[in-house]
Chains A and B, each alone.
Chain A
Amino acid sequence: METDPNTMLDQWAEDSEYKWGFVTDIESETVPPGLNEDVIRLISARKSEPEWLLEWRLDAFAKWQEMTEPPWAHWPDHDWRPIDYQAISYFSAPKSDDDRPKSLDEVDPKLLETYEKLGIPLEERAALAGVAVDAVFDSVSVATTFRDKLAEAGVIFCSFSEAVQEHPELVRKYLGKVVPRTDNFFAALNAAVFTDGSFVYIPKGVRCPMELSTYFRINQMNTGQFERTLIIAEEGSYVSYLEGCTAPQRDENQLHAAVVELIAMEDAEIKYSTIQNWYPGDENGVGGIYNFVTKRGLCQGDRSHISWTQVETGSAMTWKYPSCVLKGDDSVGEFYSVALTNNHQQADTGTKMVHVGKRTRSNVVSKGISAGKGHNTYRGLVKILPGAAEARNYTQCDSMLMGSACGAHTFPVIEVENPTAQVEHEASTTKIGEDQIFYCNQRGISSEDAVSMIVNGFCREVLAELPMEFAVEARALLALSLEDSVG
């Protein structure tokens, strides 16, 4: 078999031109649809990856081929669209600047209006709207400033591809350690074909000098549907990371299958916040993204701490269970979630807290909001292993229904194998009442503001976990996502 990646690439390009007959220069950067070993070799070659990583991908691919897509629950009210894995194009180079708007004047005014409603800072709007980077005033220098500041602290924060080139030993050491490449169907697919993502390394004793967010928001655009993120926090370090943003993100791809791995050493803390607002499909349930994500954190060291916070308002279908393996003694895992489904959206989300070490603690707060014909499912596992003496878990799981056509479902599983552990579970379901809205109206408050207020009140404990500026945007996002569901 051909081994030199570059020769192989040329060969492949020639072949494909012949086979698929695509000719234009612009498209020569895009792989035609389909998945096979050659495509994986091509991705790896395009990224000049080391041999071991190619092997790693190929191995994942081989295992993936033996796996079957999980037949997970979805409720009526959503017409399942089977995913044709051979119809996906697994690699496309970033859009060239020529294809992008040159300035904000060329951007759809409706989109800009939404940015405004969400309270997205002026200087970020151009970047989010996909305006060619050169035309985005300051964004490059902003990014550079961030980089300098981070470098000074010894923090590595770069794209996954860059990390593979510049820190191969770190990537090799930790990649797939928390989410094995064959963990599940979608994780295996991601391992085989991931194109990019982010890499963060916080050295021992370093407190990351800023939220890894603003920089990320500007630079994360077009990272693609198979994202891979790896965050390593060495002993005694701290980092707060924000993924995604409130700005609506259109994407033609049906499937998103990201993998996120977090590792916290002794006394380290990782706070990972997500705002997910991928295209949810239209009000009739046509289109929208299937967002099947594997996120897991390993509390490796004693007294380490991993906290997941998520605000999920997008995607047609979400399957996502950010989890913590609490290995170190006295380590802490947290999960704070708001999932909002409207129209025909369905979200199946929750967490797994696996208690391994002594006196490990976990805290789970899940808030599901269903409107329209949306369905929200909480699916959680709390597992206390025999060695986890005096482990504690507290789970609170609240659902809010708007209207009578939507649904809320909870499937908590608790497995306790140590008698000294304490596990508590509380659940509630409330209906957002016409009478609550009328009460607000009667005090001069519009229905829209009332719903926003009631929903934000319901989610308060989760929103409080978000970094300040994003909490403000997240509030606006929740209100906006429900705008049309108020009578």
Chain B
Amino acid sequence: MSLLEIKNLHASVDGIEILKGINLTIEPGQVHSIMGPNGSGKSTLARVISGEETYDVTEGSVLLGGKDLLDMDPEERAREGIFLAFQYPVEIPGVSTKYFLRTAVNSIRAHRGLDELDAYGFLKLVKEKAAWVELDPALLDRPVNEGFSGGEKKRAEIFQMAMLEPTMCILDETDSGLDIDALRIVADGVNQQRSPDRGFLVITHYQRLLEYIVPDVVHVLLDGRIVRSGGKEIALELEDKGYGWLEEEVAAGA
């Protein structure tokens, strides 16, 4: 069975259609990438999959391991295995990252029928996973994302992903704003988490990230539609020529 199966997905906000019929299937173990210009609907797709309520799904279906995601609240989707590394992670003042994550880990464990992690087990896990993205564990005593640098926020997202062990990981422009060293650290963190039963959807603006996280399939999103899918070479082509030629081609074909 496919891991993620999106069929003819339409979504709008305030009556304006943003996703105009997305079809996308990800098999376990695969890495897919979505590229596209600003405003093409990449973040919207990520948020609709994770269940943000500002978007109205007007048509189509999204299945995770055969289960209908659109029927579920966002927290249920997360517990079922959806993880979104946000483009702009929010700050939660006064709530320590550790406390936040322990609540998250335990609500997901409860859903999976596992015992709560005790303080010791939790800290052990934290130490191990923080090392994956070279995150200073002292940072985790600070409030969620508060006072984190741009790079720290992105690394913290990937660290959270490691802690929650999702089956379907969506990364929304995790590379933006990172210098080359930070990019490599983040990419290493992601690569450590690749496994035969886990899928990735890597949203990016630049092909740079895809040199480190090598995708199986690249899709190009233009104005709410996937206009092209193929191998890694598409990314290179886009890098070379920009999106303009594709836009023209699509317009001509339509």
Interface residues of A (CB under 8 A from B): 430, 433-436, 438-447, 449, 453-454, 456-461, 487
Contacts and interface: CB of A to CB of B under 8 A. Distances in A.
A453 B164 contact: no
Nearest to A460: B94
A442 B47 CA distance: 10
B186 to A, nearest CB: 19
Nearest to B108: A444
A445 B94 contact: no
Interface of B: 50-54, 73-75, 78-79, 82-84, 86, 89-90, 92-95, 99-101, 103-104, 107-108, 111, 143, 160, 164
Given A438-B74, A443-B78, A453 B50 contact: no
Main secondary structure on A side of the interface with B: helix
B90 A457 contact: no
B114 to A, nearest CB: 13
Contacts of A459: 94
Contacts of B89: 439
Contacts of A435: 90
Contact of A441 (B75, B111, B143): B75
Contacts of B84: 442
Contact of B90 (A436, A458, A461): A436
A443 B90 contact: no
B54 A434 contact: yes
Contacts of A446: 75, 107
A442 B108 CA distance: 11
Contacts of B74: 438, 441-442
Contact of A444 (B52, B53, B99, B111): B111
A458 B104 contact: no
Contact of B92 (A439, A444, A449): A439
Given A442-B78, A443-B101, A444-B79, 4 more contacts: A441-B73, A443-B108, A443-B160, A444-B108
Contact of A445 (B54, B104, B143): B104
B94 A458 contact: yes
B93 A457 contact: yes
A426 to B, nearest CB: 14
27 contacts: A434-B53, A436-B90, A438-B74, A441-B73, A441-B74, A442-B50, A442-B75, A442-B82, A442-B83, A442-B84, A443-B78, A443-B104, A444-B75, A444-B108, A444-B111, A445-B75, A445-B104, A445-B107, A446-B75, A447-B75, A449-B103, A454-B95, A456-B94, A456-B95, A457-B94, A458-B94, A461-B94
Contacts of A439: 86, 89-90, 92
User: Chain B CB within 10 Å — which of A430, A435, A442 has the most?
Assistant: A442
Nearest to B91: A436
A453 B92 contact: yes
Contacts of B73: 441
Contact of B164 (A436, A438, A444, A447): A444
Given A438-B52, A439-B86, A449-B107, A444 B78 contact: yes
B95 A457 contact: yes
- Which 8 pairs of residues, A with B, have the shortest CB-CB distance? A457-B94, A457-B95, A443-B104, A441-B74, A444-B78, A444-B108, A460-B94, A441-B75
User: Chain A CB within 10 Å — which of B54, B75, B82, B111 has the most?
Assistant: B75
A458 B84 CA distance: 25
A430 B54 CA distance: 20
A440 to B, nearest CB: 8
Nearest to B163: A443
A458 B99 CA distance: 14
A442 B82 CA distance: 8
A436 B100 CA distance: 12
A262 B173 CA distance: 58
Contact of A457 (B79, B143, B164): B143
A487 B99 CA distance: 24
Contacts of A460: 94
Nearest to A443: B104
A453 B107 contact: no
Contacts of B103: 445, 449, 453
A446 B164 CA distance: 15
